[in-house]
Amino acid sequence: RSFPIHSNYTTDTKSREENKKTIESLHTLSVDIKKIRRLKEWVLLQDVAYVKEIAGILQEMGADKTAVANILERCPEAILHTPAEINSQRALWQLVCQNESQLIKLIEQFPESFFTTEYHENQKANILFFQELGLKNNIITRFLTSAPNIFYNPVEKNKNVIDTLQRSYLSLGGSDANMKIWILKLLSQNPFILLNTSTAIQENLEFLQKNGFTDHEVLQLLSKLKGFIFQLSPTTMQKSMLFSQNVFECSNQELKQLVLKCPALLYYSVPVLEERLEGLLKEGISVAQIRETPMVLELTTQIVQYRIKKLSALGYDIKTGTLESLNGTKKDFEVNYGKIQSKKERPIFNPVAPVNIED
């Protein structure tokens, strides 16, 4: 359960009865009580609840009856907060929301994030810190909804991680002029790096340097991996690299080049790489082909099978062709597929070409 439990109520359901007043109030609001019973019955057992008050605050912000019912069904623990707590949370989120219309839409989509009020002071301090750092409000709202845990940290912890990243960037040869842009981009791509410790970040960077990556190459990897490298450990990276080295039968220098070409070899665990490799080999693709285009390992086995099937229907033989046609995002693939399709459909005889006639 993502919602921290207060000491003034309990999830023990053995000898407690549902609060009739709570049930009646929810029923008046057309809330599906069966759904709450199934998912979070403990909420209905609490002696004190603020159903009407919380519904009233949501309506003040512009939520209609259906929206209120949906919010309370998805996050029934909202009714256990006092109106004062919710109004404080409302004022806090308004620091980064354009208006209450945007705020209520966010609450409808991510009620659990909004109604977690236990870390109010930390949330406020972190919002102000991110604003000072230069993150735009729309990015901060995205963090609040998709990565709320980073706001539960004391602000000093987040500042410490940012300081470590900045020092690392400069020590790897990054410039002062670009540092702020680099940090903001890294955070925007992966806010979860703030859940790591400064020590873990340092250990991962040292691991790469010990394995022969130059400072410039480490920076390159950090950008390509969008900070996900900080969610790894030297042990998992070592295992993945050894696996790749054995599969591709390459030297340390060749392995390094493969990793720079395809950071997924560093990021994915051995079982994931193994499964994807087996999937490719079953399709008749050789290890040599994969070594030539390792980026294909970034794709799941299902995506690879789907793309091979589509290309085969056009008469494209992946066993003899290049794996480049499989690579990239869905959009990239569709573009490549379109090119192969139009090439196949192009007539061999060009009716408008001039005809050479001997005199």
The C-alpha atoms of residue 74 and residue 252 are separated, in whole angstroms, by 52
Residue 42, domain member (yes or no): yes
The C-alpha atoms of residue 140 and residue 93 are separated, in whole angstroms, by 10
As a whole number, the mean pLDDT across the chain is 88
Report residue 199 as tokens: 């020590």
The per-residue pLDDT for range 225-266, each reduced to its tens digit, is 777 888 889 999 999 999 999 999 999 999 999 999 999 899
pLDDT category, 3, cuts 50, 70, 90? very low
Distance in angstroms between the alpha carbons of the first and the last residue of the chain: 89
Query: Into how many domains does the chain fold?
Result: 1
Which residue in the block uniquely carries the two structure tokens 């791509």? 189
Residue 70, domain member (yes or no): yes
pLDDT category, 357, cuts 50, 70, 90? very low
Q: Which of 11-20, 240-249, 342-351 has the lowest mean pLDDT?
A: 342-351
Residue 108, domain member (yes or no): yes
Per-range mean pLDDT, top range of 50-54, 172-176, 354-358: 50-54
pLDDT category, 1, cuts 50, 70, 90? very low
Please give the residue that has the higher pLDDT: either 10 or 144: 144
User: For residue 90, which of 49, 64, 54, 131 has the smallest C-alpha distance?
Assistant: 54
Residue 99, domain member (yes or no): yes
Residue 78, domain member (yes or no): yes
The C-alpha atoms of residue 139 and residue 190 are separated, in whole angstroms, by 11
**What does the CA dihedral 175, 181, 184, 188 come to, rounded to 10 degrees?**
-120
Angle between helices 252-261 and 234-248 (to 10 degrees): 110
- Whether 15 has a pLDDT exceeding 50, the answer reads no
Report residue 265 as tokens: 């070899």
Q: How high is the pLDDT of residue 227?
A: 75
pLDDT category, 11, cuts 50, 70, 90? low
What is the rounded average pLDDT of the residues 279-297? 91
Helix (H, G, I), strand (E, B) or coil at 22: helix
Q: Which of 20-24, 233-237, 319-323 has the lowest mean pLDDT?
A: 319-323
Q: How high is the pLDDT of residue 57?
A: 96
User: For residue 188, which of 151, 137, 229 has the smallest C-alpha distance?
Assistant: 137
Q: How high is the pLDDT of residue 9?
A: 54
Whether the CB-CB separation of 161 and 201 falls below 8 Å is answered with yes
Q: How high is the pLDDT of residue 196?
A: 86
Whether the CB-CB separation of 150 and 104 falls below 8 Å is answered with no
Q: How high is the pLDDT of residue 20?
A: 93
- Whether 337 has a pLDDT exceeding 80, the answer reads yes
The per-residue pLDDT for range 41-99, each reduced to its tens digit, is 999 999 999 999 999 999 999 999 999 999 999 999 999 999 999 999 999 999 999 99
Residue 77, domain member (yes or no): yes
CB burial of residue 262 (10 Å; 0-12, 13-18, 19+): buried
Residue 263, domain member (yes or no): no
Q: How high is the pLDDT of residue 324?
A: 85
| DSSP line for 284-324 | T--HHHHHHSGGGGGS-HHHHHHHHHHHHHTT--TTTS-GG
- Whether 347 has a pLDDT exceeding 70, the answer reads no
Q: How high is the pLDDT of residue 226?
A: 78
pTM, rounded to two decimals: 0.77
Q: How high is the pLDDT of residue 258?
A: 93
Residue 29, domain member (yes or no): yes
Cα–Cα distance list, 200 to 152, 164, 211, 230, 266 (Å): 20, 10, 17, 7, 16
- Whether 2 has a pLDDT exceeding 50, the answer reads no
User: By residue range, what is the domain housing residue 32?
Assistant: 17-117
The C-alpha atoms of residue 206 and residue 200 are separated, in whole angstroms, by 10
Q: Which of 72-81, 117-126, 145-154, 222-231 has the lowest mean pLDDT?
A: 222-231
What is the rounded average pLDDT of the residues 161-172? 92
Percent of the chain surpassing pLDDT 90: 65
